[in-house]
Amino acid sequence: MPELPTFAITSRMFTEPAQVEALAGEFLDSGFQQLSLDPNLRQPVWEELLKYYPPRSFCAASLMAPLPPLTRAGPNKPPRLGSLDRSEQKECIQKGNQTIEFSNKYEIPFVYLPIAKAEEPTKTDISNELERKRVREEVWERFWLTRNASEIIQAQVDGYLRVLSELLAHADRYSVKISLVPGGMPFDIPLPLECELIRNEFEGAPLVTFLDLPSYEKACRQSTPGFENLLNVEANRLAGVLVHDGRVFQNQLPLGQGDVDLNRIQDFAQSDSAQDLKWIIDLAPPVNVSDYLNTREALEPIFNPPSNEPTDSIFPF
């Protein structure tokens, strides 16, 4: 029987320094010993987390985490990955390099790039069309055509690659690897096939992949090009799985509250290579510790499915 992997959680629940002590105690008592730093983590909260999580408890960090303290005078939002603005791309590189150095200092092995969003089609465009049209397949087909023909999106992908190239060069100086997260929707950057091209272009670079479960579900449902290879650990250099549920426009839900079909990954989860991955439960408030426990419990059967083998007993009980 395969052993269960170690499940980590993201830091999304830790939003205020004053709540860290009690919340960290609950998670640690529940067996969640590892933490991944989410994109919205602020420096004051990070400093509190260090009091309760020992060195090497941190398994990954999102690009640009931790963010500086909130201020009344903006800007309080990080630069957008995939922006067309060259100055914003430059800021992504600067702050991303800081995350790499930060991760090296605290022995965090992976810095993952959150899925970037394309300028067109927007979520609003798609939502409006889905409400107006009865044949959803036609709507999605049209948006995929828009995605594939869009010069704006290609420019965004080029900007993404420009940032990624600089980050990989910087990470190569440290003991940190950069992780792609393949998307599955027309407004996601990068898509699975783009990730394949990126890996070929940056062969030999400290580059790996994190599988995002809702994005994988969406890619499977829409037959997004390249989706059939996403569970190939060696080809994708898979290093982690972001565990949460999701719908078309909503993610970070507890498993069972969205569209994710865990049967899709059952064979993969029972492979030897799956045990070595970072399995990171990534839920967004409003949730509580029990939602993390329920999500972990929902995952356990795919690693250890019930046995259908007959028993030696001649009695039916």
Give the pLDDT mean for 7-34: 96
Q: Could you tell me the domains of the chain?
A: 7-72+95-303 (3.20.20.150)
pTM (2 d.p.): 0.91
Q: How far is Cα 13 from Cα 150, in angstroms, rounded to an integer?
A: 37
Cβ distance 84 to 155 under 8 Å? yes
**Lowest mean pLDDT: which of 38-42, 45-49, 129-133?**
129-133
Percent of the chain surpassing pLDDT 70: 91
Give Cα separations from 229 to 77, 179, 193, 203, 238 (angstroms). Answer: 34, 17, 9, 18, 11
Q: Could you tell me the two tokens for 141?
A: 């087909």
Quick one: DSSP state of residue 146?
H
SS3 212: strand
Candidates 78, 80, 167; CA nearest to 117 is 80
In the prediction, which pLDDT does 305 show? 75
Read off φ and ψ for residue 125, nearest 5 degrees: -55, -50
Q: How far is Cα 176 from Cα 180, in angstroms, rounded to an integer?
A: 13
pLDDT digits (tens, 9 = 90+) for 85-126: 999 999 999 999 999 999 999 999 999 999 999 887 676 777
Locate tokens 């329920």: which residue? 294
Cβ distance 130 to 247 under 8 Å? no
Nearest-5° Cα angle at 41, 251 to 44: 155
| Partners of residue 7 on adjacent β-strands | 279
Read off φ and ψ for residue 188, nearest 5 degrees: -95, 145
